[in-house]
Each structure stands twice: as structure tokens, then as C-alpha cells.
């Protein structure tokens, strides 16, 4: 007997490029780079194959976290112009695929890190995934304007993991690298939140500019910039980095604080007039790349 059951319309299968977009490749670059710098700066030697595997696991976990983030925030992403064209809000992929992809990547990354590298690095990787996907994405981000401050810890894990992959332990120095990224995150994201305020407001995310106002956010950016600059000088102050790093970090910090001052003095309310904020956001990415590259290079040269 032939059945004539109506079949509902189905979405076409997603392209592999959509899965790639789920991993947030732009964010992954910075995560991989800081993880690599942690690995290179650590004392001791790691086989290049094992080192490559460690970095690959950090990248896979970051990609998995990106997928889990997009799976959870599909409603929010659809309300923001910046994120509306992502695979899920644009309807190019179903949520279940994104969830399975994210969990699969994260589980695979932790498992391989444990088996091939060491279980401390794998444990830190698992903790960073939990921190980003659950503590930051599901809890802090939608509920408090301090989301970026506390959630900054999620992005600060990679150098710690890279270091642990080489040494098998966690000492003061990798904790300092963690602290630098932790302090760098608020001014970086608040600069973005200032000129994307309307987007975040439409999505109902309580970013600092939407809750405390632009003036307070600009003041906080300046304050955190000073704290971050101080944190970057500690490796030099305690003799864990050479004068070359000390001079380079000072110059980079002068640039950062000068831009943060320009943001503090700006009173613009329209995104089109927020050139200082846009400059600080762009510079902050370059800053972190440069600072970690110089630190890693310095540590490799001084042994």
C-alpha cells in the first residue's frame, strides 16, 4: 500500500564553509597565537609533533566553543546586524548540527590533548571550554554588565594551556600571561561595545555602555588599560623577560594608553563619530599579537 504522507519542507544540507564559519576563525587566530606563544615561552623542550598537536587541540576546542556559542545565541545573533548572517540565524544550518559539531570538536580536542600531550593541559582545556560555553555564554553574558570582566578568563586560558603542554605544570609565569589577557579583554571589548551599543541593546545583552552609560564605560576602559599595562611589565620586573621585552612592552603600552585617553576624552554618542573607539579596538588586537610575539621571542632567545 502506498502511503501519501506529507513531508515537511526541509533545509538543504549546510556547506562545509558554514561549519567553518561556526568555528569563528577570526577569534581562533588570536587564541591559537597566544597558545603558541605560551608554548614557545615555556622552559624546556617539546617534540614539534606534540607541540603541533597541542596547538591543534587548542584550535579545535576554540572552534568547538565558537559553535556552541552560536548554537546557544542564535536568537541574539539574529537581532544583531554584525551576526545576522552567521549560518544559524541566516537559516543555512539547523541548530542540532551546530550543537553536535561543537560538542564533537571539544570532546575530540580534550581527548587528543590528554592522550598525546598531557592530562594537565587537557584538564585546563576542558576547564576553558566549560568557562567559555557555560559560565560566560550561558550565564554571565546575558545577565551582568561584568560579563566581559569575568568572562575574559575564558580567552586567557590558551597561553596557560600552551605552557602546561610543555612543562606539565602551572607556575607564576603562565599565570601572568593569563592575567595580561584577562586585563586586556575589558578595554578591547568595551571599545567594540561603545560603537556597537545599538546592536547589543537590540539583542538585550547588558554590555557596560548599555547599563552604565558611555561616560562610565570610557572611564573603565582607561582604568583597565593602566592595570593591563602594569601587568605586562611584571615579567620584566621579576627578571623573567629581558630589557628588549621591557622596552617593547613600554612602547606598546604608551600607544594603548594614548588611545584609551582619546576614548576617555571623546563624548560622541553616534557610532560614526567614534573613531577613537574604533582605533583602540583595532590597535588592541595588534597590541596583543605584538606583545605575545615579543615575549615569546624574548624567552626563546634568553633561554
What's the distance, Cα to Cα, between the start and end of the chain in Å? 78
Minimum distance between the CB of residue 15 and another protein, rounded to whole angstroms? 5
For 49, other C-beta atoms within 10 Å of its C-beta total: 9
Q: Which of 74, 99, 103, 116 binds another protein (CB under 8 A)?
A: 116
Could you say which DSSP state residue 117 is in?
A: I
Tell whether residue 12 is a contact of another protein (CB under 8 A).
yes
CA angle at 227 for the pair 221 and 231, rounded to the nearest 5°: 135
Rounded distance between C-alpha atoms, residue 114 and residue 55, angstroms: 13
Minimum distance between the CB of residue 45 and another protein, rounded to whole angstroms? 13
Q: Three-state DSSP class for 255?
A: helix
Select the span of 3-11, 233-241, 242-250, 294-302 touching another protein (CB under 8 A).
Answer: 3-11
Q: What are the grid coordinates assigned to 283, written together?
A: 590597535
Our CB check for another protein shows the closer of 109 and 249 to be 109
State which of positions 48-77 bind another protein (CB under 8 A): 49-50, 52-53, 56
Our CB check for another protein shows the closer of 13 and 213 to be 13
Rounded distance between C-alpha atoms, residue 67 and residue 119, angstroms: 24
Whole-angstrom CA distances from 250 to 244, 253, 254, 287 are 10, 5, 6, 11
Tell whether residue 90 is a contact of another protein (CB under 8 A).
no
Minimum distance between the CB of residue 5 and another protein, rounded to whole angstroms? 9
Least Cα distance to 245 among 190, 301, 202, 172 occurs for: 301
Select the span of 47-55, 76-84, 171-179, 266-274 touching another protein (CB under 8 A).
Answer: 47-55
Our CB check for another protein shows the closer of 122 and 280 to be 122
Tell whether residue 47 is a contact of another protein (CB under 8 A).
yes
Rounded distance between C-alpha atoms, residue 274 and residue 270, angstroms: 7
Our CB check for another protein shows the closer of 9 and 270 to be 9
Q: What are the grid coordinates assigned to 17, written together?
A: 564553509
For 87, other C-beta atoms within 10 Å of its C-beta total: 23
Select the span of 46-54, 162-170, 230-238, 255-263 touching another protein (CB under 8 A).
Answer: 46-54
Minimum distance between the CB of residue 44 and another protein, rounded to whole angstroms? 16
Tell whether residue 16 is a contact of another protein (CB under 8 A).
yes
Minimum distance between the CB of residue 29 and another protein, rounded to whole angstroms? 19
Tell whether residue 45 is a contact of another protein (CB under 8 A).
no
Segments in 204-242 forming alpha helices (H): 208-212, 214-237
Select the span of 8-16, 165-173, 245-253, 278-286 touching another protein (CB under 8 A).
Answer: 8-16
Our CB check for another protein shows the closer of 47 and 272 to be 47
Q: Three-state DSSP class for 80?
A: coil
Minimum distance between the CB of residue 2 and another protein, rounded to whole angstroms? 12
Contacts of 78 (CB under 8 A, 6+ apart): 84, 89
Binding site for another protein (CB under 8 A): 3, 7, 9-10, 12-16, 19, 47, 49-50, 52-53, 56, 116
Amino acid at each position: 500500500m502506498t502511503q501519501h504522507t506529507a513531508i515537511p519542507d526541509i533545509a538543504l544540507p549546510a556547506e562545509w564553509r558554514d561549519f567553518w564559519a561556526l568555528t569563528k576563525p577570526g577569534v581562533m587566530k588570536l587564541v591559537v597565537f597566544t597558545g603558541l606563544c605560551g608554548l614557545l615561552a615555556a622552559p624546556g623542550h617539546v617534540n614539534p609533533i606534540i607541540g603541533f598537536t597541542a596547538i591543534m587541540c587548542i584550535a579545535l576546542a576554540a572552534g568547538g566553543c565558537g559553535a556552541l556559542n552560536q548554537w546557544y545565541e542564535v536568537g541574539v545573533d539574529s537581532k544583531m546586524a554584525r551576526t545576522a548572517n552567521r549560518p544559524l540565524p541566516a537559516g543555512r544550518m539547523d541548530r542540532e548540527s551546530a550543537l553536535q559539531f561543537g560538542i564533537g570538536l571539544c570532546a575530540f580536542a580534550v581527548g587528543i590533548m590528554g592522550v598525546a600531550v598531557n592530562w594537565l593541559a587537557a584538564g585546563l582545556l576542558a576547564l576553558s571550554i566549560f568557562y567559555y560555553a557555560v559560565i560566560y555564554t550561558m550565564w554571565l553574558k546575558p545577565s551582568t554588565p561584568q560579563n566581559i570582566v569575568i568572562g575574559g578568563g575564558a580567552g586567557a586560558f590558551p597561553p596557560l594551556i600552551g605552557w602546561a603542554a610543555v612543562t606539565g605544570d602551572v607556575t607564576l609565569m603562565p599565570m601572568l600571561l593569563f592575567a595580561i589577557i584577562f586585563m586586556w579583554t575589558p578595554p578591547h571589548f568595551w571599545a567594540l561595545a561603545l560603537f556597537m551599543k545599538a546592536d547589543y541593546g537590540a539583542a538585550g545583552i547588558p554590555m557596560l555602555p548599555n547599563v552604565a552609560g558611555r561616560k562610565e564605560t570610557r572611564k573603565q576602559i582607561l582604568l583597565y588599560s593602566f592595570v593591563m599595562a602594569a601587568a605586562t611589565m611584571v615579567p620584566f620586573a621579576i627578571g623573567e623577560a629581558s630589557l628588549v621585552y621591557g622596552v617593547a612592552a613600554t612602547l606598546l603600552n604608551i600607544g594603548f594608553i594614548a588611545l584609551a585617553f582619546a576614548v576617555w576624552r571623546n563624548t560622541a554618542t553616534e557610532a560614526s563619530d567614534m573613531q577613537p573607539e574604533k582605533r583602540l579596538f583595532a590597535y588592541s588586537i595588534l597590541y596583543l599579537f605584538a606583545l605575545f610575539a615579543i615575549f615569546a621571542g624574548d624567552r626563546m632567545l634568553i633561554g
